[in-house]
Amino acid sequence: MTAITAQQAGGANRVAFLQMIANSEIGPALLPLTQDGYACLVGSTPSHPLTFPSYADHPNVFNAAMNSTAAGRYQLLHRWWADRVVNGKVMHGYKTMLNLPDFSPLSQDKVALQQIRECNALPYIDAGEFEHAVAACAHIWASLAGSTYGQHTNSLALLQGYYTTAGGTLA
């Protein structure tokens, strides 16, 4: 379950969509082994869960086999969490942008909602237009149907099942 409430998130469909992403990215078998995905590092499997010990900050653990620093329930890359300098200009990461104190479950939920907002998918989610919402977010999460990352993707039917099981409604 998400740390953010439906009221904080802006509705039950938003919470259900976050749960769907977690099921897609982490997987139902791995979620309970990684504090519901919030402590999950990229490369984890149910037989070999990889976790980090503290929510004080993004763990920034590089997995060479995966060429990634993805961590947490929504597999956020460190480069999007922290401030960075690009061509001499400071680019604020989500930690600064959203004024987050840590990488706690609530902070991770807030970042994922911001990413969804940036995809312009919130109106689709609120209206129960699930397929449109997934399509809008597929460039963020590699496991979503329609993603072009070249990694394993989950079918729209499976994703919709996760969403409706979590209480999401369809148009």
170 falls within a domain: no
Per-residue pLDDT reduced to its tens digit, 113-158: 999 999 999 999 999 999 999 999 999 999 999 998 888 899 999 9
The yes-or-no verdict on residue 77 having pLDDT over 90 is yes
The phi, psi pair for 136, rounded to 5°, reads: -65, -30
> Looking at residue 76, what is its pLDDT?
97
> Looking at residue 153, what is its pLDDT?
93
47 falls within a domain: yes
158 falls within a domain: yes
113 falls within a domain: yes
Residue 17: partners with Cβ closer than 8 Å, 6 or more residues away: 116, 125, 133, 163, 168
Q: What is this structure's pTM? A: 0.96
> Looking at residue 10, what is its pLDDT?
97
CATH number for position 130: 1.10.530.10
> Looking at residue 150, what is its pLDDT?
82
18 falls within a domain: yes
> Looking at residue 42, what is its pLDDT?
96
Task: From the candidates 25, 118, 129, 131, give the one annotated as an active-site residue.
Answer: 25
DSSP annotation string for the chain: --SS-HHHHTSHHHHHHHHHHHHHHT-TTTGGGTTTTTTBBTT-BTTB--B-S--SS-----BTTTTB--BTTTTB-HHHHS-EEETTEEE--HHHHTT-SSS-HHHHHHHHHHHHHHTT-HHHHHHT-HHHHHHHHTTT-TTSTT--SSS----HHHHHHHHHHTT----
How far apart (Å, rounded) are the C-alpha atoms in residues 163 and 103? 24
Parent domain of 123 = 6-165
Give the pLDDT band (50/70/90) at residue 60.
Answer: very high
156 falls within a domain: yes
Q: Domain total for the chain?
A: 1
Per-residue pLDDT reduced to its tens digit, 9-59: 999 999 999 999 999 999 999 999 999 999 999 999 999 999 999 999 999
> Looking at residue 129, what is its pLDDT?
98
> Looking at residue 151, what is its pLDDT?
86
Q: Is 25 a catalytic residue?
A: yes
